[in-house]
Every structure is written in structure tokens, then in C-alpha cells.
Chains A and B, each alone.
Chain A
Amino acid sequence: MPKKPTKGTLEIKSNLAQMLKGGVIMDVTNADQARIAEKAGAVAVMALERVPADIRAQGGVARMSDPKLIKEIQAAVSIPVMAKVRIGHIVEAQILEALKVDFIDESEVLTPADTRHINKSGFTVPFVCGATNLGEALRRIQEGAAMIRTKGEAGTGDVIEAVRHMRKILGEIASLKKMSEVQLKKYAVQERLDLELLKKVRTAGKLPVVNFAAGGLATPADAAFLMQIGAEGVFVGSGIFKSKNPAKRARAIVLATMYYNDPAKLAEVSEDLEEPMFGIQAHQVETRLQERGKNL
């Protein structure tokens, strides 16, 4: 029974995310940074014009990157290239798909463009979306997201929000087991979730797609911390190229993500990295990016 090859199914989209597990995805703003990231052992790069810390500092409307920049980065590296679209901006997503990026991040770091998210099932390219809790994560999966990441508080260099979101998502998954059928139904209605999906998550004890940490990670110890809590990999945004020695820090974060349970190795890789990004405490920021699209 020879079947036609199948492209763009949720399965094949999620499979790429599965192959990124245990790895570090790094924000880069030009081809040189992309090469540094690849050389350091990144499993993918996120191509963007400004890292979240600069978007935060400069303000204004943050949009999809110039295709020229994305193409330069695609030409520079052999690992998957991701890029961001504004929440709900279907045309930016169509453009990135036409550019053949490997993954689209429908991201709260950019200024939202709609009061609803993109119907991601309609695309061949996979999407990753941010979430702060289980309901939000599953709504994004229902829309077709092939990968979830915590939102954290991007561009701060403060890890607490990513930690909070990861603990919340994993804690809520664990608590599904304790719910009665009635409670589960009520939760599904309240969070606008498909009951069958919710039951699947309860049985599996995990999300049906890969779950990474993102938003505020700045040191090897931060990456290892999130891995110990239960992240399947990490995104590092401003933390690398806003630090004094990006190449060294990038490599250290890759090693720390790998050896997250080995304190002696973590001590070794954390040594003499020069200054990290300066950062801003997450509770002091004017714009809480994590609130964008949260209740949609």
C-alpha cells in the first residue's frame, strides 16, 4: 500500500521539536552571531532584528524581521532557523513560511496584531508558542502549535518568571490526575479546552508536544535550573549576545543544558565567563510581555 509522502502533519511538525530536545535555541540578530551560536553547539537559532532586551529598552512597535536578514542567517548556518511573528499576524506567518523558515515563534515579544492567535493547523511550517499555565499551553496546542515554551519575562535576564511558568504548567499537569471526571469537565469548560485532549494529557502526564523553557535565562546555572525543574530544552534570548563574551557564554550554556544534573561540571563551565547581561528585575518592568495573549 504505497502512500504518498505526508508533509505538514502535526506529527511531522512535532517531530522536529522532538529532535531539538536537550538543546539550546539562541536568539541571533545577524549572520555572524548565527555562526557563533552554531559553533557553540546551538540546536537552532531564532533570527530577529532586535533581541528582547533592546525591544524593551527602545520601545515602539516590534514586528517580524526583514526577510533579507532572515535569508542571510539561513545562508550562514546549517541548523534550523526560527523566526518570530506577532500574535495573530497570519500574513507575517505566510511570509515566513514562504521564506521556508524551519519554525515560527508566535511571540509575545513582538507587539500583538490581533485579539486571537493564528490557526496554526493550516500551515505546513511548525509553530512554537509561549505559555504561562496549562490552559494557555493547551489552547495553543489546539490551534496547532507543535511546541510550547514558557513565556518567562523576555529581555529581563531575570529567570524567576520562566521558573514560575514551568512549575505552574508541570504542576497543573500533575494535578489533573487528582481531578474527578466532573472537575475535569469543569476545568475544560473554564479553560476552553477539548476534553479529549485534556484526558490525553492526564494519562500521559505530559504535554503532547515538547516543552521548553524561555524568557529571562542568562547563565549556565539558569539553563540547568530549568532543566532540573523539567524543561526539555531551553531558549536563550538576550542572555547570550547582551553579555560580554557571547561565544564563551553560549558554549557554557550548551554544556550546562547537557550536564544539568552534574554540579561539578556546572561549576567548571560557569567559571570565568565575564559579565552576564546587566538585566532588570522582572517585577520592575513597565511592560509585562507575558500578559500579551495570555487570556486568548
Chain B
Amino acid sequence: MAKTSKTIGIVAFQGGVIEHKKIVQELGHRVIEVREPKDLSSCEAFIIPGGESTTIGFFIEQTGIGKELIKRAAAGTPIIGTCAGAIVLAKNINSNIIPPHLGLLDITIRRNAYGQQIDSFYADLQIPSLKINNLHAAFIRAPIIEKTGTEVKILARHGKEIVLVQQGKILAATFHAELRADPRLHEYFISLI
């Protein structure tokens, strides 16, 4: 239930762009697909979608969008990353290949931590602090958040693994919140603007 329509930038190099876009638009907000630094200016929040973190990280660095996102984060603009997006936001990445990343979130995240695609799964998550029950979340070759800094709030776990965190206005989910057209996490994220 959007009181006022906001403008959300979706980093649109590759991956789950359309899926995020549909949810944001359904909530009554405007979407800008971000591919160049000039696309950022009118956006009030940013989404970094799932996809391949090596590919998205490469583009974020190559286009100069990364530097702009770091500036905007410092100015208090909310940013959420899902799956690969969470990896791109992280400070430390545990992987034999480290993609270019923004270091905005004080976590250590391990790539492909559950295994290969055959180990991908859906699970219902409980996020008590946001009053969200049974968020049906897709974990696809998902990462695991291994460590969190003192400023980082843990919002949800699956089993013992940390799957959703927040530091200031930066959110990261190791799962895909965009695949089942469930708008609840997006609603919360946009409320941070």
C-alpha cells in the first residue's frame, strides 16, 4: 500500500531484473533500470538482483555504477541485494573467485555454500521483527552469511544459517525474494526511504 509513489532503481545488467520490476510496479512504484551512472540520479532506493555475482560485479565496476552506489549509500539511500546482489554488497567474500564488490555491508559471505543446483531449494522463512510469516524463499546456488559485524542486525535464519540481514538502510537476502511475486519484503525495503 504505497502512500506515495517512489522511484526504485534496479541494477539491470543480468539476472532477476524483470521479477523485481514486476513486484515494485505492482506496489505502485516507478522503476528505472540502472545500467549507467546517469541512471542513478532520480532513484530513491536501489535493488541489486540475483544472477551471477561475477557477471554483475564485473559490470558494476566496469560502468562506474559501483562508485556511485557507494556514494548514495553513504548519503542514506536504501539498497537491497538478493542472492548475487547480497554478495556484491558484502565486505568479505569467501570464494576461490572473488567478484568485484561494494563492501557496504559488514558481513562475510560464502558463495555457492549449499552446493550445486541440485541442492537448490524452497523454504518458508519467518521474519518476526518485520511481522512476516512464511515468506516462500528460493535458495538457488545460494550463499551463506558466515559472519556479521556488530552493526549488522540479523532479521531471519533458515535453520541455523543467517539468510536476511540489515545494516542501516542496507539489506541483504541470501535467497530470492523476487521469484514468487510476494511483495512483503519489498514493501518493508521501500518503507526505508
A interface residues, Cβ below 8 angstroms from B = 1-3, 5-9, 11-13, 15-16, 18-23, 38, 41-44, 77-80, 97, 100-103, 124-126, 254, 258-259
Contacts and interface: CB of A to CB of B under 8 A. Distances in A.
B52 A125 contact: no
B55 A42 contact: yes
B118 A21 contact: no
B51 A102 contact: no
Interface stretch (B64-72, B119-127, B162-170, B182-190): B119-127
Given A19-B83, A22-B14, A78 B111 contact: yes
A258 B59 contact: yes
Interface of B: 12-19, 35, 50-52, 54-55, 58-59, 83-84, 95-97, 111-112, 115-124, 134, 138-141, 176, 179
The winner among A20, A21, A78, A124 for most chain B CB atoms within 10 A is A78
Contacts of B16: 18-19, 21
A11 B124 CA distance: 15
A169 to B, nearest CB: 19
A21 B54 CA distance: 14
Contacts of B118: 7-8, 97, 100, 124-125
B54 A79 contact: yes
9 contacts: A6-B123, A8-B118, A9-B122, A12-B121, A16-B141, A19-B16, A23-B55, A77-B97, A124-B118
Contact of A15 (B96, B112, B134, B140): B140
A12 B140 CA distance: 7
A18 B121 CA distance: 15
A80 B14 CA distance: 15
A44 to B, nearest CB: 8
B140 to A, nearest CB: 5
A78 B96 contact: yes
Nearest to B158: A5
B52 A11 contact: no
B138 A15 contact: yes
The winner among B59, B119, B140 for most chain A CB atoms within 10 A is B140
A1 B120 contact: no
Contact of A3 (B52, B116, B124, B140): B124
A20 B84 CA distance: 11
A12 B142 CA distance: 12
B19 A6 contact: no
Contacts of A2: 124
B42 to A, nearest CB: 20
The winner among B51, B116, B134 for most chain A CB atoms within 10 A is B116
Nearest to B15: A19
A264 B140 CA distance: 35
B59 A41 contact: yes
Contacts of A21: 14-18, 51
